[in-house]
Structure formats: C-alpha cells, structure tokens
Amino acid sequence: MRRLKTLLSAFAAFLSVIALLPAALAASAAAASAAAPEASPAKLRVTVLLYSRPWKDYDFIVRSMEYLKKNWPGLELTFRSLPHIPLREELRRGNADLVIASSSFFAMDPTEKVRPLAALVSPRAKDPNRSSVAVVVVRSERSDLVRLSDLGGKRIAAQTEECELGLHYVEHEIAKAGFNPDGFWSVRRDEPGQMRKILEDVLAGRIDGGILRGCFLEDLGEKRIAEIGSRLRVLNAQPVDGLACLHSTVLYPGIILAGISPLGVELRGA
C-alpha cells in the first residue's frame, strides 16, 4: 500500500503541469524557422508504451501521428510501441522525443529530463485525472464469488508489465475492505500483450478471476459486452462516475504525453 500512496502523490505532481502538444510543436517549429530558414527537415521520435490490443486510444494516437505527417511538410516522424522495460531503457538513453504512456509509468520511472505536455481524453473518459481503472471478471455461475474479498486464496491473473496498475488498484480496494492484500491470492502475471488470454482463461475456468485494463471489454466490442450477465460477471461493479466503461475500482489518472525538456520536441538537422 505504501507503493500505491507514493504513486498517487506522483500522479498529482505530474498532472499539475499539463500543456497542449500543438502549442509546443508550433513554438518549436517557429523557433527553428527563425533561427535557420534553410534548416534540414525536423526529426521527431515518438514512442508509445505497449498495451494489449485492442486499444481504441491507440487508434487515436496513430491517427494523430498521421495528422502530424500530413500537416507538417518535411517532418521525419518515427513512431513505435515498446514494452515497459525496453521503453524505460530507450528513454534513459535519450532515444525518444515524445513518449505516450500511463501516468503510472512516469511515476515508477521518474526522470528530470521528461516533462508532461498533454493528457489523453476521450468520449469515455473526459477527465484525465479519472480515466485509469481495473475491471475484475469472473464466470457468471460462480455464486461463491460475490465481492472482491471472495477471491481470497483463489487463482487470479493480471497483466503486470503494461504499467496500468490494475493489480494494485484492486489490492487498494481489498485493503479498504479491511483485508491485508499481501499474499491475499495466488497471482499469475501474464506476458505483455496477452490480456485477451486472461479473459479466455476465466471463461474456460482455468482461473477464478481476471484483472483487466479498464475499457478493455468495451474495446473488444459488443460481443464481449453482451457476455456480461450471461457468461461473465463484474465484481464490485462501480456506478457511472465519469468513466463510461465497466470497472471494479475507483478512478485514477490515465495516459500522459511527455517530452524531453525544455520543450519536449527537439528539432535537429539530418
């Protein structure tokens, strides 16, 4: 729980200095134009933290990159997705200009060179401070599983390498209910990008419960949502509270776009 409190404090610090990416890009381009009218095309390296697909926010990010390429003639833009550890190492080596990742990624891997520029909002989550959650699913016929605390000693699976702190979010709920989350259940930590497998294992009865990224069920489409109530059930389902997705925990800060200081976008000659 000490780690969760530290992360929440870091979240608040990061989200206190959010600016707009277009303004930063325009300022950088104007400065470069004034200083060197015949300068070589700008180079921009954008890296996004890898999440299990499907991820609707990723589609928006890709469209944004395409927009930049189309509307900034001569821009040499490279865009890639990396898992947590490789992204952290590339960032420390200075091999990125812009990074798109969860607030928890920046909180766990702080660096003085990185500054937040913008926060991701969507029709589902209009408040970036309240857009990251976890959803816990079980099979609908499991009448022995009614509350999150009923998973004590059971087999659960969680994606712990994607820096969406679903497991910690759920442990916080367990602690609020008066239980010690340390050793509360048997956890299987899945490989990055394999969140769909967690859901499949719940349906097949190979595990008792699965912790999924908030909005992952919605990203999978109407078929999976229709299974809620028939084949699946959400434990500790929360009311509509600013996030238009099924979830089992309170809301936390979400996706941040950050850049290398001072402007977060560096224009260099080829």
173-218 pLDDT, tens digit each: 999 999 999 989 898 877 677 889 999 999 999 999 999 999 999 9
Give the domain range for residue 219.
134-234
Same-domain check for residues 89 and 60: yes
Residue 246 lies in a domain: no
Which CATH number does the domain housing residue 158 bear?
A: 3.40.190.10
Residue 191 lies in a domain: yes
**CA 189, 159, 193, 19 torsion-angle sign:** negative
DSSP 3-state of 62:
helix
Q: Which residues pair with 78 in a beta bridge?
A: 45
Same-domain check for residues 89 and 151: no
pLDDT tens digits for 131-180?
999 999 999 999 999 999 999 999 999 987 776 678 889 999 999 999 99
pLDDT score for 112:
65
Q: Which residues contact 231 (CB under 8 A, 6 or more apart)?
A: 139, 140, 203
Q: Mean pLDDT over all residues of the chain?
A: 80
- Residue 23: both structure tokens together: 């303004």
* Range scoring the smallest mean pLDDT among 118-122, 139-143, 262-266: 262-266
**CA 242, 246, 250, 251 torsion-angle sign:** negative
For residue 109, which of 131, 127, 84, 126 has the smallest C-alpha distance?
84
pLDDT tens digits for 21-54?
444 444 444 544 544 455 566 888 999 998 888 8
Q: Residue 269 — pLDDT band, cuts 50, 70, 90? A: very low
Residue 85 lies in a domain: yes
Neighbours of 59 (CB within 10 A): 12
* Range scoring the smallest mean pLDDT among 4-18, 226-240, 248-262: 4-18
